[in-house]
Amino acid sequence: MNSQVRIRRSRGAVCGAALILLGLWGGLAPFVGPYFHFGFTPDKAWGYNTGRLYLSAVPGAAAVLGGVAVILTRSRIVGVTGSLLAALGGGWLIVGSGVTTYLLKVTSIRAGVPLSHSGSGLATPAYGYAEQLALFAGIGALIVFAAALACGRVSMLSARDAADAAEAGYYPDD
């Protein structure tokens, strides 16, 4: 393989680990949130509905798969593709609910409404906004940011990579 396409595995390790953790949070938090009275309806832990599948689990899985690809690859092409997959998952966490409701006019895929929190000390609209940020828009923005960092890290050709490529035995042909 061309030595300019090969990278060290450690190049995307931190960004890939961040993508995996953020993807796990984005995909699983709506399912386990009702244990802590934090989430969207239905107020049932591990309760399945199409909104949780298409608006949380699928984009979270995309971020996790992208993070795994960034961590495990030695190819720039696979690393960039993995980071783009993760960025698409994060973007879908941000805009997925609006796209399905307003553009596609599919009313069966909904995130639900924030759980009511009477007596929590916070006003219900403020708590609902915090839930929206923690489970959709905020985590999606963090995933897009980490994916952009990963894409930049795995796509650049550094002087260290050029020096490694000059060594005959550093990148053995697989």
For 85-94, what is each residue's pLDDT tens digit?
999 999 999 9
DSSP state of 75: B
pLDDT at 155 over 70: yes
pLDDT value at position 111?
80
157 belongs to a structural domain: yes
3 belongs to a structural domain: no
pLDDT value at position 43?
79
Number of structural domains (the chain) is 1
Q: How does residue 5 score in pLDDT terms, banded at 50, 70 and 90?
A: low
174 belongs to a structural domain: no
Tokens of 22: 């953020």
43 belongs to a structural domain: yes
pLDDT value at position 141?
97
For 40-95, what is each residue's pLDDT tens digit?
888 788 888 888 899 999 999 999 999 999 998 888 889 899 999 999 999 999 99
pLDDT value at position 145?
97
Report which of residues 23 and 97 the model is more confident about. 23
82 belongs to a structural domain: yes
pLDDT value at position 120?
56
Q: Where are the alpha helices (DSSP H) in the chain?
A: 13-32, 50-52, 58-72, 76-98, 124-132, 138-155, 159-166
CB-based contacts of 95, cutoff 8 Å, min separation 6: none
Query: φ and ψ at 40, to 5 degrees?
Result: -120, 160
4 belongs to a structural domain: no
pTM: 0.83
101 belongs to a structural domain: yes
Residues of the domain holding 17? 9-166
pLDDT value at position 174?
45
For 108-121, what is each residue's pLDDT tens digit?
888 877 776 655 55
For 107-154, what is each residue's pLDDT tens digit?
888 887 777 665 555 557 777 888 888 889 999 999 999 999 999 888
Q: For residues 59 and 81, is the Cβ–Cβ distance under 8 A?
A: no
pLDDT value at position 37?
79
44 belongs to a structural domain: yes
